[in-house]
Structure 1
């Protein structure tokens, strides 16, 4: 499953990142690495960006970037 397929409140674990080294380094600088747990905080109405929470930090990434991150959906967060 890809990060871009998740909905607000979903919690997932990053399984793999499939992108070039420049984008991978950018992800790493935010703590977006294999094995990290992430929570989907918001999805824009146009579904062009998503806000994720990782290690108590919120990061917004483009949906086309989120398509490069493979995750395992853990569960839906109780809101």
Structure 2
């Protein structure tokens, strides 16, 4: 069984696979439009000093997420 963790717990340079997105409605559609969906590989590029913002790369797309958004994304295979 794979261990799940929240994207907000990942560290700079970490790579993980999206396991589940616990968002709904417009937010979930926006995340999917950026390629952030189950099975996608994410690289954590930057974490704000207070971990209130996160910069992640999905494929060739780089996006910034707020802590509240990052806490809605469960990841596995964190390395």
TM-score by length of 2: 0.90
> 1:70 aligned to 66, 71, 74, which one?
74
Runs ≥4 in structure 1, deviation > 4 angstroms? none
Q: Distance in 1 between matches of 2:37 and 2:68?
A: 17
Among candidates 23, 26, 45, match of residue 19 of structure 1: 23
CA-CA distance at 1:20 after TM superposition: 1.7
* Aligned positions, number: 75
Does the CA contact (< 8 Å) of 1:47 and 1:63 recur in 2? yes
Asked whether the 8 Å contact 1:16–1:71 carries over to 2, the reply is yes
Structure 1 unaligned blocks of 5 or more: none
Aligned partners of 1:59, 1:40: CA distance in 2, in Å?
10
Kept after mapping to 2: 8 A contact 1:10/1:73: no
Structure 2: segments with no counterpart, 5+ residues: none
